[in-house]
Amino acid sequence: MKKLVKNSTVWKIFFSILFFLISFFLDTTSIWYFLTILLSYFIASFDLYVSSWKKLLQGRVLDENTLMIIATIGAFFIREYSEAIVVVVLYRIGELLSDLAVTKSRESVLKLMDLKCDTVRLLLEEEEVLVNAEDAKINDLFLVKPGEKIPLDGVVVKGEAFLDTSSLTGESVPKRVSVGDNVLSGAICQDKVLTVRATSLAEDSTANRILNLVEKSTEKKADTEKWITRFAKIYTPIVVLLAAVILLLFWYFQKDFYQAIYTACVFLVMSCPCALVISVPLSYFLAIGRASRDGILIKGGKELEQLRTIKTAIFDKTGTITEGVFAVQKIVSPTMSQEKLLEIAAYGEYYSNHPISQSVLKKYGKKIDSEKILDFEQISGKGIRFRMDHKTYFLGNATLFEEKGILLDVPPEIGTTIYVAENRVYIGHLVIADKIKESSYSIVESLAAVGVDNVVMLSGDDERVVESVAKQLHIPSYYGKLLPEEKVEKVKHWKKEGCAGFVGDGINDVPVIQVADIGIAMGGIGSDATIEASDVVFMKDDVSKLSTAILLSQYTHRLVLINIWFAIGAKVLVLFLSLLGLGTIWLAVLADVGVTLLCVLHTLSILKRKSFCKMYPLSRTK
């Protein structure tokens, strides 16, 4: 439909120009000349009259179309027919070019968010059946072939392949998945066939949730957008009133009625707020779309604008700064190799389901011969005793070793320590700790580059562990052993110092995210409740995305201000020239159309810029 409308506009402009050119070959005193001029004018301006009439019925008396109609009628009144036609034709060409630019940019954004797959290849009784994605149920098996989008969230039950997850996370490197791995809807299977068991319905899939967030984000306006909307409503009536005042003043002082009308018409044409009305909302729309391409979902223009004002960045530790997964960080033995000590520990932890035990087994990574494990005993809250190869081994904490009279003469470690003894003699220990994410090491530096100097880390973990992580990352402020309500109080404290942004991932972070000025969820492993409560979602668990989001917000804000001041400045200049008698309607239209197109093209730079990570930091608004 929109394409048909645009084609119709092109033909109207074409025929309007054709009849206008024909008028040059006719006698200016003949009725045919006047009829040709009228036909040229009404072909080009018909849509303006229709639009103004519809808005009048809706109670909106004056808008930019009304300004053009009044100006061209005034030009006809003083017999400046050519200028009247040029005004409306150039105005329609400007509208058309602006609409094409806007449509192209919208298509670019929608292409970035083309995640949804409407069909799914279900496996029913070992036969492949193509059905609507909405008809699939949880636990249904479905196929994904090379080049196809994954229609539903699920778990791989057969096959292995590389997935393109760039539309979801912004990560360009393909991700390899195999049996047992979770896959998200919207990712593209690149090379091999996968059989997947559905873990979500179509309406609850990751792709659908992302699309819903993006759709809602375009409905939420930033403060600047709201100001422009309010501005346009009161601006046009004021412009018409000022045009009437200019007409009366020029008529009174210059005694030239025709020149007074001409000057008022120039004022009306140049006063059209097209550049502001188009470019400002478009800037926020494109910025939100660009962020989604980088794996950052921003829920609205207001949230986008607020990102640039963050003065304190507050992070949860576990699952946000760290991976939230226990891993063996250190193996120490004064009497044997690290590999041998790890083997003993892995056999000892074989029968335990505790996360710490699983981390030891994962580190060992070899098959366990369970027949070698004899007299296994789990000592609640303290450790394990077992026999292997005619030797008795103890694995556990310092309390267990103290009870058994096993001498420990080793310095305390940061993290959970598993001490190992052979025949009641200490032979070494393993340190289990939560691994720091690679992206976290540059967080302080990257935030400082965008003007956020105050970085805080909160955690319910032991203070010694929190301190160790903070020192490794150079985070100046950190707090441990905090309950969720204590985290809320800390965030409230930092809010008094300025805009506070909180980044978290777990269900226990929901109250903190809600109380922060801007709440940010780590979407990859974040809970549904956390994502719903947040203002921004990082689809990839990468805290460095915060500096990218802030930089994008700063860039968009600066771009909007440039467009506003450029549009206002150009209009003021032409208006000043018209008041001096140097401006013409032709100049007014060319300036208005030109300013609008330049503002739109400037706005499109949001999509054209390759990266918002490598830009030179922009100055912050204090």
Quick: pLDDT tens for 151-206. 888 999 989 888 887 666 555 567 788 888 888 887 888 888 899 999 888 877 76
Angle at 288 between CA 284 and CA 292, to 5 degrees: 165
Residues 331 and 424 in one domain: yes
- Beta strands 391-396 and 499-504 are unpaired
**Phi and psi, residue 361, nearest 5°:** -65, -40
Q: Which regions of 442-592 does DSSP assign to beta strands (E)?
A: 454-458, 477-479, 499-504, 518-522, 536-538
Alpha-carbon separation of residue 21 from 18, 31, 91 (angstroms):
5, 16, 18
The whole-number pLDDT of residue 421 equals: 95
Q: Which DSSP symbol is given to 604?
A: T
Q: How far apart are CA 204 and CA 133, in angstroms?
A: 11
From residue 592, alpha-carbon distances to 161, 272, 316, 342, 580 in Å are 54, 7, 50, 75, 19
264: confidence class by pLDDT, cuts 50, 70, 90:
confident
Tell me the torsion sign for CA atoms 572, 577, 581, 586. negative
In a domain, 475, yes or no: yes
Domain match, 165 and 146 both = yes
Residue 23 clears pLDDT 50, i.e. is over it: yes
- Helix H segments across 337-381? 338-348, 355-364
Write down which residue in 436, 469, 496 finishes a domain. 436
Q: Structurally, how many domains does the chain consist of?
A: 3
Domain end, chosen from 538, 553, 568, is at: 553
- pLDDT at residue 358, rounded to an integer: 83
Calculate ∠ Cα 108-109-110, nearest 5°. Answer: 95
**Distance between CA 184 and CA 205 in Å, rounded?**
8
Query: Is residue 585 in some structural domain?
Result: no
Report how far residue 575's alpha carbon sits from residue 569's, in angstroms, rounded to the nearest whole number. 10
Q: Which of 241, 248, 295, 287 has its CA nearest to residue 268?
A: 241
The CA-based diameter of the chain, rounded to the nearest angstrom, is 121
Amino acid identity of residue 159, one-letter, is G
Looking at the fold, whether 544 and 442 belong to one and the same domain comes out as yes
312 and 331 share one domain: no
Range of the domain at 149: 119-215
Nearest Cα to 207, choosing from 596, 523, 541, 473? 523
- Phi first, then psi: give them for residue 199, nearest 5 degrees: -115, 5
Single residue among 436, 458, 487 that ends a domain in this structure = 436
Cβ neighbours of residue 41 closer than 8 Å, sequence gap 6 or more: 16, 72, 76, 81, 84, 85, 88
- Same-domain pairing of 347 and 384: yes
Does 33 have pLDDT greater than 70? yes
Question: Distance (Å, rounded) from C-alpha 113 to C-alpha 279?
Answer: 22
Please state, in angstroms and rounded to a whole number, the distance separating the CA atoms of residues 36 and 95. Answer: 24
Residue 268 has pLDDT above 80, yes or no: no
CATH number of the domain enclosing 466? 3.40.50.1000
Tell me, yes or no, whether 425 and 447 share the same domain: no
Q: Is 615 inside any structural domain?
A: no
Give the angle subtended at the CA of 22 by the CAs of 17 and 27, to the nearest 5°: 135
Give me the residue label for tokens 């003949």: 30
Catalytic residues: 316
Confidence band of 339 (pLDDT split at 50, 70, 90): very high
**Identity of the amino acid at 585:** I
pLDDT at 108 over 70: no
| The pTM of the whole model exceeds 0.85 | no
> Which of 344, 385, 379, 388 has the alpha carbon at shortest distance from 363?
344
**pLDDT range class, residue 621, cuts 50, 70, 90:** very low
Q: 397 near 289, Cβ under 8 Å?
A: no
Q: Encode 464-492 in three state secondary structure.
A: HHHHHHHHHHCCCEEECCCCHHHHHHHHH
If pLDDT is split at 50, 70 and 90, which confidence band does 331 have?
Answer: very high
Higher-confidence position of 219 and 511: 511
Residues 195 and 124 in one domain: yes
265 assigned to some structural domain: no
How crowded is residue 268: how many other Cβ atoms within 10 Å of its Cβ?
28
Domain membership flag for residue 35 = no
